[in-house]
Structure 1
Amino acid sequence: MGKRGPQNPFGEWTVYEGADGYFHGRIYMGVKADGSEDRRHVMYRDRDRAVREMRRLEKLRDAGQVAKAGKVPTVAQWMRTWLDTIAPRTAQQSTVDEIYRPKVERWIIPRLGQHKLDRLLPEHVDDFYTWLPQQGLSSKSVLLIHQILSRALKMAVRRQVVARNVASSTYVEAPTHRDGEIEPLSQTDARRILDLAHVLPNGARWSVALALGLRQGEALGMRWGCIDLQAGTLRVFQVKRTRYQHGCEDAHECGAEWHRAACAMPCKRHKKRCPTPCRPDCRFHAQHCPKRLGGEWEFKVPKGGKARTLSIPAPLIRELKAHWRKQRKLREVAGEAWTDMDLCFPNSLGMPLEPHDDWADWKWLCKAAGVRDARLHDARHTAATLLLEQGVDIRVVQEILGHSTLAVTKRYTKYRELHQAGALSLVT
């Protein structure tokens, strides 16, 4: 063993030059879960760097910010662990698969994934946030990526995988984003849509959307058993499909036909942005597996964690009664092929309507009615705006929409006055 280097006065860490030409640092960090001593070891070519690392570890230990002993994962490894095993417990699986995962695979991992989790520095995160807008991402997308990264690192700190969250406000300023002005439909445009909606099998679904402002999953999850047409009340739940899972032995090979490769640059196929390419060990696309599991429809409480009861205006009650009679005739035509799930707005065989088909109906209505190409969520904004401008108390509107905070509902108070009363009269 080579010559001993500097050490602290209590002998809890030391640096020495080994026979291999490296400077080795060893430090006592505490006690492991099994009762044995937790001693850490580092090695560098430069003595000063080894000393600095010892002093850094000493400060973390004294501050009670010691990460668990063992090999520290890379950012890529931890982000995928968080997506696969942690995030689905608190977020909807569709949110994880359709929002979190594309952001992680497309932006976070390619730029930060190679760093060890304990070697990720605030400077790396700052550079990352500066780089993202240069790739054409909006301020809203940059903020969402920051929230995903910070949430994953926060969980890493809780589980003592790493000592600090370098994406927290302590180290990095969060990217700024200001929500754009929401543009609800005018009452005239809403009237045009409703006048045309009766030609669709589930035309009353759009009366519900524009009168009560239900989210898509809540509207598609409406059941006759949750509606009291005599009392004029509706108990709101939502319908969601459970996640598909591979039932085969080799998930990667099973989905080979569906793996997405990175588009050549410049890509001329996609108008906005190329789809996220699959990673080399992709095990997704379970919906195409011939032995797939899952995919069942489930009724759940809405976003926010609790069901809510709404009052149904009299014109909408009449609309729902007419829709029930219309649906009864469709059931007779379908015969034994009909699956009775008690849904108000099912497909032609009684099963829940696929969200994409529901979205397509809305887009068709907007185009056929000569209305601007509005988002499906704009129907919810329209309902909220009309209720507020009709004079309904904002806290009542918050309860109707199921917003978690009043601050979200207040965004709807900024819009122009429509000078037309009777928002709920749209459904007459």
Structure 2
Amino acid sequence: MTEGKRTRRPNGRSSIYPGKDGWWHGYVTVGIKADGKPDRRHVRGREEHEVTKKVRTLEKERDSGLVRKAGRAPTVAQWMETYLDTIAARRLAPKTLYDYRSKTENWIVPHIGRHRLDRLLPEHLDGLYAAMLKAGKAPSTVLKVHRVISRALKIAVRRGKVARNVATLVDPPSLGYTEQAQFSREEARKVLAAAQGRRNAARWSVALACGLRQGEALGLRWEYVDLETGDVKVWWQLQRNVWQHGCDDPHACGERLHRATCPPRCTRHASRCPQRFGGGLVFRRPKGKSRRQITMPASLVEALREQRKTQLVERHLAGDAWRDLDLVFAESDGSPIDQKSDWKEWAALLADAGVRQIRIHDMRHTAGTLLVAQGVHIRAVQEILGHSDVRTTEGYTHVASEIARDAAARMDSALWGGDD
């Protein structure tokens, strides 16, 4: 082949030739550009076999539909900003989006943000995860960061920014088994007994009997509670979203604690920003199968009837100050109960009941455990708790000790018991 002379290939076929600059060059047609012209990609190398290998790789990517679009690939930091601001922001709940941003700004960008997206390697992710574990972060946190990266790269592949999702080539840390905390039947009864006489006493009955999450219980409205049939629609939840800074200039709000390096999204002082937005207590619909209808036990229905009577008295006493949000469990003026206040009330209740301190969410585990222990079918438990995957519900079966003891007693009788 004559030096510097390109070998023409008909019908858009690839070409390889030596250039006057001392390099070997290769061109591969991978598609058509937006303007209708052929999208020809260029590779080069010092040796012909090196360029030939690169050309064949491009051809394989083209034939498999994995070739990225023309133009310089963005850095990981640039793509994460695009993904969070224009893609994830339309699909994720505010609290989830905030969690994604936090993990991106604290871990992803500082460690791998400068790498070009198309040059990101599995080893880079391994290094990030190792650094997180060395810093004392729990494997669950590392796994969440891995999922954020993986979802962002999945979209990048769809958009043609990269040819592959390198996160799928990495084994994230395994969580192992985490023992769930729950009350025994005796402990649960002590809690309900200690709740009698307190404001919103039925709030704890709802959680223990129906397995409602904290946000679902605090967001429950009378409109969705039928005291005749005992049916309740768990269609709303109360959440506290993080405030976002509304000033283009962090100093514009007059908050003296702001620093010059404070980013526009800073939430540290956003709650005091006059132009803040997006935060505070809000009502949101549960996602997936969490939007469900369940039937309450008769005793719980009666407790809610008493709750309704007490609330009507409080409404009358509040007069014009009453906030009519139709909440089943509310403050004395009808306003929503803040989650922090709910936590404090829960801790005080457990202290009065003389039982060990567990999380509010562990009432949900208690409900699942008691349902399984009473012999309720696992699919019915799944519907009551709103699990999208029955495997999550099956996690309660190992703690149903009463069933296990009954089975052992029956086997003892079968093998070692006396004849009838």
C-alpha deviation, 1:200, in angstroms: 3.8
TM-score by length of 1: 0.81
C-alpha deviation, 1:27, in angstroms: 4.3
1:337 aligns with 2:321: yes
8 Å Cα contact 2:243/2:278 also seen in 1: yes
Change (3 A) 1:403 1:352: same
8 Å Cα contact 2:372/2:400 also seen in 1: no
Q: Which residue of 1 aligns with 2:67?
A: 66
C-alpha deviation, 1:319, in angstroms: 0.7
C-alpha deviation, 1:389, in angstroms: 0.5
Q: For 2:299 and 2:213, locate their aligned partners in 1 and report how far apart those are by CA, in whole Å.
A: 20
Q: Which residue of 1 aligns with 2:379?
A: 395
Q: Which residue of 2 aligns with 1:134?
A: 134
8 Å Cα contact 1:187/1:418 also seen in 2: no
8 Å Cα contact 1:255/1:288 also seen in 2: no
Change (3 A) 1:226 1:148: same
Q: Aligned to 2:381, what secondary structure does the other structure show?
A: helix
C-alpha deviation, 1:368, in angstroms: 4.0
The 5 Å alignment of 1:161-240 reads: 161-168=161-168, 171-240=169-238
C-alpha deviation, 1:204, in angstroms: 1.3
Q: For 1:189 and 1:374, locate their aligned partners in 2 and report how far apart those are by CA, in whole Å.
A: 11
Change (3 A) 1:129 1:31: same
Q: Which residue of 1 aligns with 2:345?
A: 361
Q: Which amino acid aligns with 1:396?
A: A
TM-score by length of 2: 0.82
Q: For 1:330 and 1:303, locate their aligned partners in 2 and report how far apart those are by CA, in whole Å.
A: 33
Higher relative contact order structure (alpha carbons within 8 Å, sequence separation ≥ 6): 1
Change (3 A) 1:282 1:240: same
C-alpha deviation, 1:306, in angstroms: 6.2
Q: Aligned to 1:310, what secondary structure does the other structure show?
A: strand
Q: Which residue of 1 aligns with 2:410?
A: none
8 Å Cα contact 2:221/2:327 also seen in 1: yes
1:81 aligns with 2:65: no
Unaligned runs of 5+ in 2: 404-420
Change (3 A) 1:111 1:352: same
Q: Which residue of 2 aligns with 1:318?
A: 302
Q: Aligned to 1:283, what secondary structure does the other structure show?
A: coil
Q: Which amino acid aligns with 2:179?
A: E
Change (3 A) 1:413 1:74: same
Q: Aligned to 1:228, what secondary structure does the other structure show?
A: coil
8 Å Cα contact 1:252/1:283 also seen in 2: no
C-alpha deviation, 1:77, in angstroms: 1.6
C-alpha deviation, 1:87, in angstroms: 2.1
1:304 aligns with 2:306: no
**Larger helix proportion, structure 1 or 2?**
2
- Deviation readout 1:134-179 (Å, 9 max, x if unpaired): 22222222222222211111111111111110111xx223432223
Q: For 2:130 and 2:280, locate their aligned partners in 1 and report how far apart those are by CA, in whole Å.
A: 42
Q: For 1:26 and 1:226, locate their aligned partners in 2 and report how far apart those are by CA, in whole Å.
A: 65
- Deviation readout 1:402-428 (Å, 9 max, x if unpaired): 111111100001115258xxxxxxxxx
Q: For 1:49 and 1:149, locate their aligned partners in 2 and report how far apart those are by CA, in whole Å.
A: 32
- Deviation readout 1:24-63 (Å, 9 max, x if unpaired): 7654332123322323456789998777655543432232
8 Å Cα contact 2:290/2:387 also seen in 1: no
8 Å Cα contact 2:14/2:26 also seen in 1: no
CA RMSD of superposed structures (Å): 3.3
- Deviation readout 1:287-310 (Å, 9 max, x if unpaired): 433133445865443232563211
Q: For 1:111 and 1:17, locate their aligned partners in 2 and report how far apart those are by CA, in whole Å.
A: 39
Q: Which residue of 1 aligns with 2:147?
A: 147
Identity of aligned residues (%): 46
1:281 aligns with 2:263: yes
Change (3 A) 1:296 1:359: closer
8 Å Cα contact 2:244/2:276 also seen in 1: yes
8 Å Cα contact 1:255/1:283 also seen in 2: no
- Deviation readout 1:206-232 (Å, 9 max, x if unpaired): 110111000122111111111111111
Change (3 A) 1:79 1:45: farther
Q: Which residue of 1 aligns with 2:36?
A: 35
8 Å Cα contact 2:32/2:38 also seen in 1: yes
Q: For 2:43 and 2:253, locate their aligned partners in 1 and report how far apart those are by CA, in whole Å.
A: 43
Change (3 A) 1:162 1:332: same
C-alpha deviation, 1:382, in angstroms: 0.5
Q: Give the number of the structure whose alpha-carbon radius of gyration is greater.
A: 2
Change (3 A) 1:418 1:96: farther
Change (3 A) 1:151 1:294: closer
Change (3 A) 1:101 1:62: same
Q: For 2:53 and 2:8, locate their aligned partners in 1 and report how far apart those are by CA, in whole Å.
A: 12
